[in-house]
Structure 1
Amino acid sequence: MLKAFLMAGEASGDALGAALLRGLRAEGAQVDARGIAGPLMRAEGMESLFPMDELSVMGLAEVLPRYLDLRRRIHDTARAAIAFGPDVVVGIDSPDFCLRVDRLIRAIRPAQPVAHYVAPSVWAWRPGRAVKMARDVDHVLALLPFEPPYMEAAGMSCDFVGHPVAAEPVASPEVARAFRKAHDLCGRVLAVLPGSRAGEIARMAPVHGAALRPILAAHPELAVVVPVAPGRRAQVEAAVAGWPVRPVLVEGPEARRVAFAAADAALATSGTVSLELARQGCPMVIAYDMAPLTRMILSRMVRVDTVTLVNLVSETRAVPEFIGRNCRPDAIAAAVLSVLADPAAQQAAMALTMERLGADGPDPGRRAARSVLDLLSRR
C-alpha cells in the first residue's frame, strides 16, 4: 500500500491531484491518500483535512488579512502528515502553503521523500525560490517544458510530465454548433472569463463590463458567454448585472470547453485559461489586475515581459495582454476588436503551444505517477 500525503490549494491543483491518483492506480499502485483535497480528489477516494477553498487566496495584499488562519492551517496540515507517516508527500501548486508544510514535516522526518507538482515560476520572478525550495523538496513535476533546468540547477531532480490541458478533448465543430443553437447564439460570440477566485471576480468583472461597451458598439449583435467556476455562480450573476449585455452563464468543465470552441474570441483573466483556450483553438486577449500593494511589489520583481503561458511556451508574443496598470478597458476593447477582425493571427502560436505541452501524447497524470514512483524507487 502506497501512503501518499497530497496537498492541493485550488481548483487547478485539485484536477492535477485527481489525475495523479488515477495515474498511480493505473500504474498498479494501491494508494491510501490523505491530505487536502478538492471535489475531484475527493471523488477519487481522498478525505480532506479541511475545505480546500480556505487556501484559495492569491496576492500578497490579499493574504495578509488571513495570515493567522493560514498559519494555523499550515501547522495543522504538517501535524496530520507526520501522524500519517506517508511514503511520499506531494504538494500540488500553492507553493506558499505547501512549501511551509514541507519544511515542518522535514524538521521532524528529515528523510521524508517530498515532491512538488507544478514548478514555481522562478523564470518569471523570485528566482531564489528554487534554491530555498530545494532544502525541503527532492523532486519536481513540471508542467512546462522549459522548467526542468531551473529546478535541476537548484539541486532538485525534475521531470516534465506534460500539461493536463494538452490532453483535454477538443470539442468538434458539430458540438460547437449545437452549443450555439442551444443557447440561441446567432452572431459572433465572445467568451468572457473574469476569474475563478472571489477576489479576481470582484476586481475583474467591472473592468470586463466597461471593455464590453465599445466592443458592443462596434458589434451590436455580439453575444457573450461566461463560463462560471465551481461555486461562483451567485457572485458572477451579481458581478455581471451591470454589464451592457446579458451574458449566457454556463457551468461545468464540458460546457466550458464547448463554450471556448464555440466562441469567436475570448477575454480572459490571466492563468491556465490561456492554455484551455488554445486547446480549443479560441483566440484571446488576456487582462489581469491585482490589489494595489500586490501590483506595486510584483512590478519590481517580475523578470519577463509576458505572463501569458501561450506566449511563453510558443516563444511568441501573439496573445495581447494587459496586466496591472495596463489593465484599462479602452486598451482591452481595442485588442478584442483586433482579434475579432483577424482571429487566425494566433492559430500558429496556439498550435505550437499544444505541441510543446505534449498534446495527444501520454496521459500527464500517468506520467506524473511514474515520476513519483521513480522518485521512491531511487530512495
Structure 2
Amino acid sequence: MTETSGPLLFLIAGEPSGDALGARFMAACKRLTGGRVRFAGIGGERMIAEGLESLFPMSELTLFGVFELLPHLPNLLRRMDQTVEEVLRLRPDAVIGIDSPGFTVRIAKRVRQQAPDIALVHYVAPTVWAWKPKRAAKYAAIYDHLLAILPFEPPYFEREGLACSFVGHSVVESGAGRGDAARFRAAHGLADDARVVAVLPGSRKGEVSRLLPDFRATLERLLPTHPNLVAVVPTVATVRDRVAAALADWPLRTILVEGDSAKYDAFAASEAALAASGTVALELALARLPAVIAYRLNPVTVALYRRFIRVKYVNLVNLMLDRMLVPELLQEECRPDRLAAELGRLLDDPATRAAQVEGVGEVARWLGQGGIPPSERAARVVLDLIAERQGGQTVDQAQRLSESPFKGEETS
C-alpha cells in the first residue's frame, strides 16, 4: 500500500485481464488526484507496478470452470476470509471488484453485511444479456455503483435500481494498434519471407493445457503449404513456464514473448492470429489483425453453461456486429482440421482478410476508442462517488476550481 495521503481504494482483480483494467484504473486515479490516492487489495504484475502490494498472489484466483475450481476450493475459501478481514481492518473508502465475480461478488456481499458504510463498486458488468439475467437484481442488492464496458449494458441494471455508468472498454488504451513490425522482425532476425502467425492460447493453466496441443497440430497441418511459417506466442508470467515447455517440440520456429510492447509488436508483424476466446480477441481487433477464435472447456462444464447461454457468439466483435465476422470454433468444432482451414483462408485469401480488418472499425468506436480514456471515466465515477458520500468536491468540481482565475481568493 502506498503512503500517499488521499482516499484509500481496495481493488480486487482475479485474472490478467482484470489486472490490466486495474492498473489503468490506478494510473488514472493518480493522474486525477495528483497522486493523492492510496491502494490496497489483490492484483497481478501490472497493478503491482502501479503501486499495489498484493495481499496474496493473484494467480491463486485465476481459475475457470466447475472442475478446474473444485480442487482449489479450500484455499479460495481461506483467501476470501483473509480478504474480508483485511477490508474490515483497513476500512477503505471504496472496494472495487474487477470482474472475477465468483470471488469479488462474494467479498462484496460479506463487506456489505459487516461494513455497510464502505462504498462498493463492481468494474465490468456481468453479462446478464447473455445468461442469468436475475444477476442484475442480485448486484443491485449489493453494490452502490456498477461500471459497464459496453454501451448497451446500463439499462439492464438501472431498471433494478443500481446506478450504472458506461465507461468504455479499457482495452482501447492498451496500445494494441501501435505495434512496430519492423522492430519485431529485426529483434528476432526474421527473414523477409517469414510468415508470422500470432498464437494466443490464453492466460489460464487450463486453457493452455487444452488449446496448445490443437494449436500445434493446426500449424503442423499448414506447414506443407506454408513452409515459412513462424509462430509467435505472447504469454504472461502465470503460465510462461507451462507454455515454454509445450513449445519445445513444435515442428516450426516459435518465438515466446512477454509484455505488452513485445506482444503488440508481434501483432504488427503477424499476418493472422489463432487465439483463445477472451479479451485478447478485442486487442486483435484493435490491432486490425485477422483472427480465428477457439475455445474448449470441460464437457460437463459446457453442458451446464449451454442450459443458460442466450447469445449466438462468444467473441465480443461478433456479438456487437450480430454476425460471424471472426470465425469461432468452440468445443467439438475446435479441431486442428477446422482450425487449419480457417487460418489458412486468412493467410491465403486477401478478401477474407480485408473483410475482418474493415469490420472491426465500428466495434472499436463502440468500445470507446477516441475521446476520454475509459480508465479515466471509471476513475472519475469512483472518485466522485467517494467525494459525494463524504460531502467533498467531485473531480469535476476540483478541476474547475483549479482552472478558475479566482483560485485561492475568498468568495462570498
- TM-score interval, normalised by the smaller of the two chains: over 0.9
Q: 1:167 Cα deviation (Å)?
A: 2.0
Aligned to 1:2: 7
2:45 is matched with 39
Q: 2:86 pairs with 77, 80, 85, which one? A: 80
Task: Give the corresponding residue for 1:23.
Answer: 28
Q: Is the 8 A contact 2:178 2:264 kept in 1?
A: no
CA distance in 2, matches of 1:348, 1:316: 14
Supply the distance in 2 between the matched residues of 1:179 and 1:39 (Cα, whole angstroms): 23
Unaligned runs of 5+ in 2: 1-5, 390-412
* Contact kept in structure 2, 1:188 and 1:223, CA below 8 Å: yes
Describe the superposition over 1:6-55 as per-residue Cα deviations: whole angstroms up to 9, x where unpaired. 11111111121121122122222621211112222222222111111110
Specify which of 115, 131, 142 is matched with residue 121 of structure 2.
115
Report the alpha carbon displacement of residue 357 of structure 1 after superposing the two structures with TM: 1.0
Match of residue 49 from structure 1: 55
TM-score (norm: length of structure 1): 0.95
**Alpha-carbon spacing, 1:299–1:250, altered in 2? closer, same or farther (3 Å):** same
1:221 alignment counterpart: 228
> Alpha-carbon deviation of 1:133?
1.8
User: Distance in 1 between the 2:178 and 2:387 partners?
Assistant: 42
Inter-partner Cα distance in structure 1 for 2:336 and 2:158: 41
Q: Which stretch shows the higher mean deviation, 150-159 or 51-60? A: 150-159
SS at 1:34 equivalent: strand
What stretches of structure 1 move > 4 A for 4+ residues in a row?
Answer: 170-173
Give the match's secondary structure for 1:47: coil
On the 8 A contact 1:138/1:157 being kept in 2, the answer is yes
- What is the alpha-carbon distance in structure 2 between the residues aligned to residue 57 and residue 172 of structure 1? 31
CA contact (8 A) 2:9 2:96 kept: yes
1:72-117 superposed Cα distances (whole Å, 9 cap, x missing partner): 1111111110111111110011111000001111111123210001
For 1:378 and 1:363, locate their aligned partners in 2 and report how far apart those are by CA, in whole Å. 23
CA contact (8 A) 2:10 2:39 kept: yes
Greater shift in the superposed pair: 281-290 or 333-342: 333-342
State how far apart, in whole Å, the 1-side matches of 2:118 and 2:241 are: 43
Give the SS at the match of 2:164. strand
Matches within 5 A, 1:251-290: 251-290=258-297
How large is the Cα RMSD of the aligned pairs?
1.7
Aligned to 2:334: 327
- 1:356 partnered with 2:366: yes
Cα deviation for residue 122 of structure 1 reads: 1.6
Is contact 2:18–2:99 with CA below 8 Å preserved after alignment? yes
Please give the alpha-carbon distance, in whole angstroms, between the structure 2 residues aligned to 1:214 and 1:317.
24
Which secondary structure does the structure 2 equivalent of 1:15 belong to? Answer: helix
Aligned with 1:162 (options 161, 168, 185): 168
Partner of residue 188 from structure 1, selected from 192, 195, 198:
195
Residues 171 and 258 in structure 1, CA contact (< 8 A), matched pair in contact too: no
| Greater Cα offset, 141-150 or 247-256 | 141-150
**Equivalent residue letter for 1:373:** L
1:347 aligned residue (351, 354, 357): 357
Measured in 1, the distance between the counterparts of 2:161 and 2:61 equals: 28
User: 2: CA distance between counterparts of 1:96 and 1:171?
Assistant: 32
Q: In the alignment, which residue of structure 1 is the partner of 2:156?
A: 150
Match of 1:131?
A: 137
Amino acid corresponding to residue 355 of structure 1 in structure 2: R
Equivalence for 1:93 = 99
| Structure 2 residue identity aligned to 1:9 | G
Hey, what's the Cα distance between the residues in 2 that align with 1:8 and 1:15? 9
The two structures have a TM-score, normalised by structure 2, of 0.88
* Comparing 51-60 and 23-32, the one that deviates more: 23-32
The residue that corresponds to 2:382 in the other structure is 372
* 1:316 Cα deviation from its structure 2 partner: 3.0
Question: The residue matched to 2:234 in structure 1 has which SS?
Answer: strand
3-state SS, counterpart of residue 334 of structure 1? helix
Residue 378 of structure 1 deviates from its aligned partner by: 4.2
Q: Is the 8 A contact 2:59 2:238 kept in 1?
A: no
Question: Which of 273-282 and 234-243 deviates more?
Answer: 234-243
Give the letter for the 1:264 counterpart: E
One-letter amino acid of the structure 2 residue matched with residue 152 of structure 1:
E
Equivalent residues in 2 for 1:169-248, closer than 5 Å = 169=175, 175-183=180-188, 184-185=190-191, 186-248=193-255
Distance 1:151 1:349, change over 3 A: farther
Question: Equivalents in 1 of 2:194, 2:214: separation in Å?
Answer: 24
Aligned residues: 378
What is the DSSP-based 3-state SS (H/G/I as helix, E as strand, rest coil) of the residue aligned with 2:250?
Answer: coil
Deviation at 1:170, TM superposition (A): 5.2
State the Cα distance separating 1:246 from its structure 2 match.
2.8
Q: Which amino acid aligns with 1:362?
A: I
| Conservation of the 8 A alpha-carbon contact between 2:312 and 2:319 | no
Cα distance per residue 1:110-151 (max 9 Å; x no partner):
232100011112222222222212211121111122221222
Q: Give SS of 2:151's match.
A: coil
Deviation at 1:172, TM superposition (A): 5.5
Q: Deviations over 1:290-337 (max 9, x none)?
A: 122212211222111101011123333200001122212111111111
In structure 2, relative to structure 1, the CA distance for the partners of 1:170 and 1:17 (3 Å cut) is closer
The answer for unaligned runs of 5 or more in structure 1 is none
Matched, 1:12 2:22: no
1:171 is displaced (CA, Å) by: 5.2
CA distances 1:141-200 after superposition (whole Å, capped 9, x unpaired): 111222212222332111111212212335558x21232233214332111111111111
Cα distance between partner residues in 2 of 1:274 and 1:267: 10
> Helix, strand or coil: the match of 2:237?
coil
CA radius of gyration, larger in: 2
